[in-house]
Amino acid sequence: MSTHAADPLAALAALPGVPDAVDSVRKAVDRVYGHRVMRRRSNEISSEAALRGARGSAALSGADWALEEVRRRTDFSADAEARTVGAALRLGVEVGQLLSIWRQSPLRVLARLHLVAAGDAADSVGRPRQGGETVDEPLIEAPLPDAAEVAARLDGLAELIVAGTSAPALVTASVVHGELLALRPFTSYSGLVARAAERLVLVGSGLDPKAICPAEVGHAELGRAAYVAALDGYLSGTPEGMARWIAHCGRAVELGVRETTAVCEALQRGAA
C-alpha cells in the first residue's frame, strides 16, 4: 500500500463502514474481558485461545484438523499437514515474546516468526525470498510480486509501524495481515506468519492485551473462499476493497471473541 500520506492507516480508518467495524469489535472485546471467569482464569483462557487460533490458522493453510486432534498430537513432523499445524502452534507461543520488539524492528520480528514457523535452518528461512526462489503458499493464488517489490513494500510497512499511527488496532492489524498475504515474502508459511502478525498487532496495541480473542478462529469459520474474496478487495487497492477487507478481519475478531466467550461459559459451568 502507499505510504505517501502522513498517516495512511488513519485515512483507511475513515473509509465507509470501517468505523462501524471498529466499534463493533471494541464492544465485543470489552464484553468478553468483562466476563466473570476472566478475573480468575485468564491465563487458562489465553492458552486455550492460542490453541484454537493455531488450529484455525493451520486450517486456512490446508491442514484442517479437529481441535481434539491438535490437542492430542505430540509429533508434528510426520507429513506436510502435521508440519503446518506444528508451525501454527509454535507461532502462537512465540507472538507473546515479540511484542516489545515489534514497534522498533518489525522486519526482525517477521524474520523471527518465519524462522519459528519453518523450524529448520535452510538458507531461505528467516529472510525475505530472493529472485528465482519458489513460494509454497497454499490458498493464495494472486500474482506474486517479485523480490524487489517485496523488499520495497516490506520496508514501507516497517516504516508505518515504526512511525506509529492514530488508526485503531483493527485497521493496523488488517493492513499488516493483508500486506503480508499480498507479498508472500517468505518461501513458505507466509500465510501463517501473516495471521500471527495480525494477532501480534491486536495484542500489542492494547485491544486484546491478554491474547484471548483469536481472529484466526474467525477467519477459519468464515471459510477459505470468503478469506480469498476479501483479500481480493485488499489487493485491488480501492477504498471499497480495503474497507471490505478490514470489515472481514473485524468479523473474524468478533467470531474469535464468540469462541472465547463459549470457553468462558464452559469453564463457569464446570466451576458451578
CA distances from residue 204 to 21, 54, 154, 179 in whole angstroms, order as listed = 19, 18, 19, 18
Give the three cell numbers for residue 60.
486456512
Is the pLDDT at 4 greater than 70, yes or no? no
DSSP classification of residue 138: S
Residue 148: is it exposed, middle or buried by C-beta count within 10 angstroms (0-12/13-18/19+)? exposed
For 84, the 3-state DSSP assignment is helix
What confidence category does residue 265 fall into, taking pLDDT thresholds of 50, 70 and 90? very high
Residues 6+ apart with CB under 8 A from 95: 113, 196, 199, 200, 203, 211
Report the percent of the chain where pLDDT is more than 90.
88
Residue 3's pLDDT is: 44
Of 83, 204, 78, nearest to 138 by C-alpha is: 83
Q: What is the pLDDT of residue 84?
A: 96
Confidence of residue 2 (pLDDT cuts 50, 70, 90): very low
**pLDDT the model gives residue 145:** 96
Residue 193 · residue 91 · CB < 8 Å:
yes
For 118-148, write each residue's pLDDT tens digit: 988 788 999 999 999 999 998 888 999 999 9
Q: Say what the pTM is.
A: 0.95
Q: At what angle do helices 190-204 and 169-183 cross, to 10 degrees?
A: 170
Model confidence at 259: pLDDT above 80: yes
pLDDT digits (tens, 9 = 90+) for 197-223: 999 999 999 999 999 999 999 999 999
Domains detected in the chain: 8-126+140-269 (1.10.3290.10)
